[in-house]
Structure 1
Amino acid sequence: MNKRRGKIIGRSYAHKVGEILRIYDEHARSGLSNREILRRYIYPVYPICEKTFYNIINASADPRIIRQQEDLKRQLSLF
């Protein structure tokens, strides 16, 4: 078993990251803190804790997730 294999990033996770970032970007300009954005706008749709929220924000810069999001956009635009 190869222990150096990277973690596989699923399409549903990439979609969830994209949606959470879309909500975050929409409300970040209003001057609200990250915690308030999480409590008011993200938690009712995606019930995640604050640590998971920060992990998702950091994961948005991961090239594997960016690649998955681009693949999703291409596939959804075909139909």
Structure 2
Amino acid sequence: MTRLERQQHGVNKNKLLRYKLILELYKKHKTEDIPVTVVLRKYIYPVYPISRKTLYEILATPVDKELKKVEIIEASQISMF
């Protein structure tokens, strides 16, 4: 695996970890009577300045599944050495 590929996996892993933190914050404050946009404006945006479109992208991402894929790739890299 080239240096660029390793770097891309690291970037992807960091992005997924950030998505996980945003999802935890979202789940903490989201209730049935509070709209998504209000949760974004009051609770998420002050900590993670993201757009509504990005929030919807995060909500649609299977973060845990993607993190497991990254961990498998990392484990295979370690076993090569």
Same fold per TM (> 0.5)? yes
Gaps of 5+ in 1: 1-6, 72-79
Alignment of 1:20-59 (within 5 A): 20-29=22-31, 31-59=33-61
Answer 1 or 2: higher relative contact order, Cα 8 Å, separation at least 6: 1
TM-score scaled by length of structure 1: 0.65
Cα RMSD of the aligned pairs, angstroms, is 2.6
Shift of the 54–20 alpha-carbon distance from structure 1 to 2, 3 Å rule, reads same
Q: Which has the larger radius of gyration?
A: 2
The structure whose residues are more often helix, as a share, is 2
Alignment size in residue pairs: 63
